[in-house]
Amino acid sequence: MNAPANPLAMRMEGPSPAVEVAKDLARRGALIAPVAAMVGAIFWGTDGAVSVAYALAIVVVNFLLAAWSLGFAARISIALMAGVALFGFLIRLGLITLAVLLVRDAAWVELIPLGLTLIITHLGLLFWEMRFVSASLAFPGLKPKPGLDAAQASNSPTISDLSETKEHQ
């Protein structure tokens, strides 16, 4: 069994897989936005459509902000990433509260579709994204597209390769 590394000194390099997943979530959010706005328009009119779009924007920005902050902190230190994850949760919750409270009296806001969209799209996008998340060391973020060459996967290090490298060192 490996001795644990020092999280204060350890940091991640290269592109963050969390950012990759968040960008994919944003892409899927943009895909469902017209349908969601249409549903809002059917039940609550134009105000409903605008409120649904606003809530969807809040959800997507929240995902991107969370992933970016985690990726940024992980490049400095894993321990900092833990702190950013906790305080980032509080800060982002505050920002969501602010974003909703600032517009709650606006003429175009319907609070019921806005609230429902916040919950449904947040969970819905996550469950949808779960189908595309990879669980391999070669592709730590998203699963490779079917057309992507298998050579890239075979060239990527596996656990055993890395263990051997460690033993040689």
Q: Which residues contact 2 (CB under 8 A, 6 or more apart)?
A: 166
Nearest distance, CB of residue 93 and another protein, angstroms: 6
Residue whose structure tokens are 């969390």: 18
Q: Which of 95, 128, 129, 144 binds another protein (CB under 8 A)?
A: 129
Q: Which of 57, 141, 153, 168 binds another protein (CB under 8 A)?
A: 141
Binding mask 61-100 for another protein (x = CB under 8 A): -xx--xx--x---x---xx-xx--xx--xx-xx--xx--x
Q: Tokens for 102, please give them.
A: 């600032």
Q: Where are the beta strands (DSSP E) in the chain?
A: none
Q: What is the DSSP string of 24-85?
A: HHHHHHHHHHHHHHHHHHHHHHHHHHHHHHHHHHHHHHHHHHHHHHHHHHHHH-HHHHHHHH
Q: Which of 30, 38, 148, 162 binds another protein (CB under 8 A)?
A: 162
> What letter represents residue 168's amino acid?
H
The residue ranges that bind another protein (CB under 8 A) are: 1-2, 4-7, 10, 12, 14, 16-18, 21-22, 62-63, 66-67, 70, 74, 78-79, 81-82, 85-86, 89-90, 92-93, 96-97, 100, 104, 111-112, 114-116, 118-119, 122-123, 126, 129-130, 133-137, 140-141, 157, 159, 162-163
